[in-house]
Chain A
Amino acid sequence: TLLGFIVTDLPITPSALQKMLRSATDRSFNCISVDGDMSTNDTISMLANGAVDTAVIDESSQDFVQVQTQVTEFAQQLAQLVVRDGEGSTKFVTVNVKNALNFKDAKIIAESISNSMLVKTALYGQDANWGRILCAIGYAKLDNLQSLDDKKINVSFVATDNSEPKELKLIVDGVPQLDIDETRASELLAQQDLEVLVDLGTGSEECQFWTCDLTHEYVTINGDYRS
């Protein structure tokens, strides 16, 4: 279960606060997955008590967008901590889907990859299994297939430690790179922080989703949770 709250001493109207939290959640807590299971109790709440002496912020205030952005970045930090603590996890994975036709498709595809048990076990095993990533993209529950063009799709691992080459291309314009540098792939997959980059090439929208690997320990922890 995900529970959380954000509190601030700013004065913010209830409707502006709800708008901020909803927007922040859609770009943070609603973009994480440890195991693909949705709880009966997930709740994020926000309180603003107005202890700071300044004008009340509503949707039309000059500062509304700035505060909303800061709340969103704040929520992303919190959401990422939850993923980093994923039960039994050893890796923190950013799935970055870009150049989709629309945000909704980018998010559905990113979530599909993030929830794939086989992708997550491959990441745990440090196996550059691009086939599983492509498979998860292919079965993503899209309304239609307009964001997918099998001649435009690119899939890469991206280094998170500033090492070069930064990007290891697994699929280029729909063509699997059968002679990928396995040594470099092993270097990238040995890192604690990983990034999977999917460039759909069909639009300009993007979504980041955060997930983790799936390990033996996840089963150990959850095999007897009630006792």
Chain B
Amino acid sequence: QKASKHVDKYALYVPKSGVFPKGFKVATQATGVKKNGNLDLGIIRNVNTSRPSSAAAVFTTNKFKAAPVLVSKEVLEVTGGENVDAIVVNSGCANAVTGEVGLKDAREIAGVANQKLGKQNATLVMSTGVIGQRLSMDKIVPALSQQFETNAFKDDFESWLNLARAISTTDTFPKLISSSFKLTNGTEYTLTGIAKGAGMICPNMA
């Protein structure tokens, strides 16, 4: 992106450190879905067991919702947002406009993560990339399983930044922010946010 190179956006907007919420770990891998060999699979996992987790989401209002959108909506409807402990994101292929096979693939990815977590309906899935192509399940599923089996999950800064990289497509820099705040009773808590997107951007989510 020649125009973007006029300004060093990476230097301006990518943090060099961060504070991250307790009880979350992340893992990433380059599965080969992205042709350039970059990271293209990211997983965030809740490892806190002191209380059940809560989940919420907003989704595109596009009539042609991609398979992972439909599957994640189902998960939230079934669970009421309780006990959702993982989000699996792949980049390079959007699994959109893929019909029944796309739904089956998205459910299979969620199912693999659920099996590893030992829970039903505990995983949200997201995909981004090219529309109208089927996911390379032969690459994604083994990689996903491997992350759990080798306990590749970490909670250091570089791992979180890699998660932001893994979900990127045409982005010129990973988007990661984190901050600590205090409740009125003085209790400190943390927010961490990751996003991706550079084009096809005019969301209206509900």
User: What residues make up the interface of A, taking CB atoms closer than 8 Å to B?
Assistant: 1-15, 17-18, 20-22, 25, 29-30, 32-54, 56, 62-63, 66-67, 70-71, 74-75, 77-79, 81-90, 111, 115, 192, 215-218, 220-222, 225-226
In Å, the complex CA distance between A85 and B1 comes to 10
Task: Check if A36 sits within 8 Å of B202, measured CB to CB.
Answer: yes
- Residue in A closest to B172 when the chains form the complex, CB atoms: A85
Q: Which residues of B contact A38 (CB under 8 A)?
A: 60-62, 200, 202-204
Query: A43 with B173: in contact, given A1-B197, A13-B54, A89-B4 (CB under 8 Å)?
Result: no
Chain A CB within 8 A of B167 CB = yes
CB distance from B171 to the nearest CB of A (A): 5
Contact with A along B133-173 (1 / 0, CB 8 A): 00000000000000000000000000000000001011111
Task: Check if B193 sits within 8 Å of A47, measured CB to CB.
Answer: no
Task: Check if A86 sits within 8 Å of B69, measured CB to CB.
Answer: no
User: CB within 8 A of B201: which of A17, A32, A48, A226?
Assistant: A32
22 contacts between A and B (CB under 8 A): A2-B197, A3-B89, A4-B193, A7-B21, A7-B24, A18-B56, A29-B58, A33-B202, A35-B201, A37-B199, A41-B94, A42-B62, A45-B126, A47-B44, A47-B84, A50-B53, A52-B187, A78-B193, A78-B195, A90-B3, A90-B6, A225-B130
CB distance from B107 to the nearest CB of A (A): 16
Contact with A along B2-18 (1 / 0, CB 8 A): 11101101000100000
Chain A CB within 8 A of B96 CB = yes
Query: A84 with B13: in contact, given A2-B197, A51-B48 (CB under 8 Å)?
Result: yes
User: CB within 8 A of A40: which of B24, B55, B60?
Assistant: B60
CB distance from A167 to the nearest CB of B (A): 25
- Residue in B closest to A17 when the chains form the complex, CB atoms: B56
Q: Which residues of B contact A45 (CB under 8 A)?
A: 55-58, 72, 87, 124, 126
Chain A CB within 8 A of B184 CB = yes
User: CB within 8 A of B60: which of A7, A17, A43, A216?
Assistant: A43
Task: Check if B22 sits within 8 Å of A52, measured CB to CB.
Answer: yes
Task: Check if A66 sits within 8 Å of B199, measured CB to CB.
Answer: no
Query: A42 with B56: in contact, given A9-B23, A34-B199, A81-B177 (CB under 8 Å)?
Result: no
Number of A-B contacts (CB under 8 A): 290
Chain A CB within 8 A of B188 CB = yes
In Å, the complex CA distance between A30 and B203 comes to 5
In Å, the complex CA distance between A48 and B192 comes to 11
- Residue in B closest to A21 when the chains form the complex, CB atoms: B56
Task: Check if A43 sits within 8 Å of B126, measured CB to CB.
Answer: yes
Q: Which residues of A contact B199 (CB under 8 A)?
A: 34-35, 37, 86-87, 218, 221-222
Q: Which residues of A contact B96 (CB under 8 A)?
A: 40-41
Task: Check if A71 sits within 8 Å of B60, measured CB to CB.
Answer: no
Task: Check if A79 sits within 8 Å of B205, measured CB to CB.
Answer: no
Q: Which residues of A contact B172 (CB under 8 A)?
A: 85
User: CB within 8 A of A20: which of B52, B56, B87, B190?
Assistant: B56
Within 8 A of A (CB), among B71-112: 72, 80-82, 84, 87, 89, 94, 96-97
Q: Which residues of B contact A46 (CB under 8 A)?
A: 55-57
Task: Check if B202 sits within 8 Å of A32, measured CB to CB.
Answer: yes
In Å, the complex CA distance between A188 and B128 comes to 36
Q: Which residues of A contact B187 (CB under 8 A)?
A: 52-54
In Å, the complex CA distance between A12 and B55 comes to 9
Q: Which residues of A contact B167 (CB under 8 A)?
A: 3
User: CB within 8 A of A74: which of B3, B22, B191?
Assistant: B191
Task: Check if B198 sits within 8 Å of A18, measured CB to CB.
Answer: no
In Å, the complex CA distance between A4 and B163 comes to 11
In Å, the complex CA distance between A7 and B201 comes to 22
Q: Which residues of B contact A215 (CB under 8 A)?
A: 3
CB distance from B188 to the nearest CB of A (A): 7
Q: Which residues of A contact B84 (CB under 8 A)?
A: 47
